[in-house]
A and B are shown apart, each in its own frame.
Chain A
Amino acid sequence: MANATPQAAPSKPSLWNDPQKRGILIQVLVLAAIFAFFGFIFYNTLSNYAQRGISTGFGFLNNTAGFGISQTLIPYQESDNYWQVFKVGLLNTLLVAGLGIVTATILGFIVGVARLSKNWLLSTSAAVYIETFRNIPVLLQIVFLYALLLKILPSAKESYSFAEAVFVNKRGFYVPEPIPQAGFDWTIWAFVLAVALVIVLRWIARKVQEKTGQQWPMFWIGVALIIGAPLVTYFMTGRPLEWSLPVLKGFNFQGGIRVIPELVVLWIALSVYTAAFIAEIVRSGIQSVSHGQTEAANALGLRHNQTLKLVVIPQAMRVIIPQLTSQYLNLTKNTSLATAIAYPDLVAVFAGTTLNQSGQAIEIIFMTMMFYLSVSLLISLFMNWYNNKMALVER
């Protein structure tokens, strides 16, 4: 403390020697350099385009497409514009992704649980399934399945038919199409009502169980109501539904609902492939639940099914969900392999044909990438929300 002389006001350091200001300066410079870099690339691209006479901008979306698409979920004609093509391709991608996610999840859970079964045959089959499909590139599986399907299915004239209503051939899977007539609304309302009723009943059943310990056979009540009520209404209103049956006319079947073989192949291949990964995730999730939990459940007298349903799976889900998210994202992105087998997804019809016919490579690839990015982010958001819901609530 002896040298506690009052400090002279510090001389103002130069800009370079003041760490704070220097830091800011450097950051500004780096930021400017980055902006300059990307600005340059952007400008350079534009000027190169102009120099070579390639038109730019999104105006091309209004141009007439002029080509046909084999599967469209919304009305589409050749005289529609590229924007409509974008929507058609986008929906086709979402369709196969959605179908794939549902079946992959169901199949994955079944195989994952089977993998842990005490039955040797069952667990070994599951292991073989997982190791086979997980270790072969999915593109090969798609191409192989497509070639196989075209080989084994009959031609349109020799279709496999079931009751002259369902037909299967190389051109697709045909089922009768229901065409609602006047009065069919009642059946729909009956269905809605039954669902609402089941929700209320479940709530009551839970209250009853909490109070008295008595269980209602809610599953069977639900099934009976949801299927029974619309069915009874349907017959009471005089069956107001007509069926359009597929009929062979000329080269192909007309009428009915048709599922093109490309969709079937892509759907099966992606589901089977992704299910192998999901099965492993499910297994790891179940194994992460400590054995003590199962024993405690046994001690309480819960049956095997109940232990699984009420104790193990809810806890396993906390491990499973985050990993499931990345599998869903993988599956969605893998749908772009559709272009290998003529399934008209976004990449095939938009980033493929449209790009080629219009020449707008950068705009089209940009739009396609933004689509995949948005879908992936939406899936992540939803799964995160679900994960939070399932997460351990700490009290």
Chain B
Amino acid sequence: MKTTKLLAIASTVVVAVSMMASAHAGGTLDGVKKKGFIQCGINSGVPGFSIANDKGEWSGLDVDFCKAVAAAVFGDTTKVKYTSLTAKERFTALQSGEIDLLSRNTTWTLTRDSNLGISFTGVNYYDGQGFLVNNGVKSAKELDGASVCIQAGTTTELNLSDYFRANNMKYEPITYDKVEETIKGFEEGRCDVLTSDQSQLYALRLQLKEPEKAEVLPEVISKEPLGPSVRQGDEDWFKIVRWTLFAMVEAEELGLTSANIDEKKSSADPSVKRFVGAEEGVGGQGLKLGNEWAYNIVKQVGNYGESFERNVGSGSPLKIERGLNALWSKGGLQYAAPIR
């Protein structure tokens, strides 16, 4: 009797384990639809990109992107759950399936795209690494011997060392885990310089008690194309995320905003008709989404320009210029493959 019982238990364990393994093999889109929401990995707190208000509601450019994907998949921006991650945690969270989408000002590099089992889907913010210093320093070339606060596990950590080595200067890295700790270290005087992507520096500067005593140096020492990424090997999900970004940029090119899209829906312009899903055949079937996927994104979140201005541009305290992030037709780099 005992033996049969043991055998039964053993076989149950084996079956359960093999079932666990097979459950893992399903696509991200199916998984997301089944659970009814998207688990989106975001930054724990950078104003303009992802920050929570006193009610715990997240907002920002990166958060808007999570919402846009939810709008495309579910037609409902509330169907997102957020996981706030440190720079160190983010790739493991994505690799392990804890999150479906990483939208956390992450630089697209060859190593990350090829070695980590993740794929970058595009660039939602063209950034560059800069330095935040106390007034008095005029150029990054004067920083020989300085102590530099920096966040662990970022490309900034590597660029910083490249820059100082290339210019034959010494520095002392003070490597903190969280963004909040780096700004605290800078404010308390543990370091002379805070280095990060320039967009973040402008945002963090506003968090200082006396922002006017610090400034962002004009030098940009690296290219930092920031973009959302997904797990490698799931083409369907990859394409949904990539085209969500394209749809936001394309909407700006077409002049579609959350305010006027209903009005323009009945327009005769064929590219607008294709965009809102009024023309059969170019809708969402290929992406395994509804025909109104792009319409939902713009209606509920807005186009790229709207999201930019609202979160980091003229409509926000950061007042960052569009610069590289303007549309290609206006001297910037934002360019979308056509929706047709």
Contacts and interface: CB of A to CB of B under 8 A. Distances in A.
B167 to A, nearest CB: 13
Contacts of B185: 150, 342
A352 B190 contact: no
Nearest to A47: B21
B157 A67 contact: yes
Contacts of B161: 66-68, 78
Interface residues of B, number: 54
Contacts of A16: 3
B34 interface: no
A358 B88 CA distance: 11
Contacts of A48: 24
Contacts, number: 140
A30 B6 contact: yes
Interface in B95-149: 95, 111-112, 114-117, 143-147
Contact of A70 (B153, B173, B189): B173
B3 A353 contact: no
A40 B146 contact: no
A237 interface: no
B181 interface: yes
Contacts of B30: none
A238 B153 CA distance: 51
B26 to A, nearest CB: 13
B175 A356 contact: no
Interface in A349-387: 349, 352-353, 355-359, 361
B10 A29 contact: yes
Interface string B153-183: 1100110111011000001111111000100
A49 interface: yes
A26 interface: yes
A344 interface: yes
A40 B171 contact: no
A388 B116 CA distance: 50
B7 interface: yes
A353 B174 CA distance: 12
A251 interface: yes
Contact of B145 (A41, A51, A250): A250
Interface stretch (A52-60, A293-301, A310-318): A52-60
Contacts of A353: 88, 152-153, 157, 175
B232 A352 contact: no
A324 to B, nearest CB: 32
A284 interface: no
B92 A78 contact: no
B91 interface: yes
A37 B13 contact: yes
Nearest to B153: A356
Contacts of A254: 145
Contacts of A37: 13-14, 17
B172 A70 contact: yes
Interface of A: 16, 22, 25-26, 29-30, 33, 36-37, 40-41, 44, 48-49, 51-55, 66-70, 78-79, 147, 150-151, 155, 170-171, 249-252, 254, 261, 339-340, 342, 344, 348-349, 352-353, 355-359, 361
Q: Closest 3 CB pairs between A and B? A: A356-B153, A52-B117, A54-B117
6 contacts: A33-B14, A37-B13, A69-B175, A70-B173, A342-B176, A353-B88
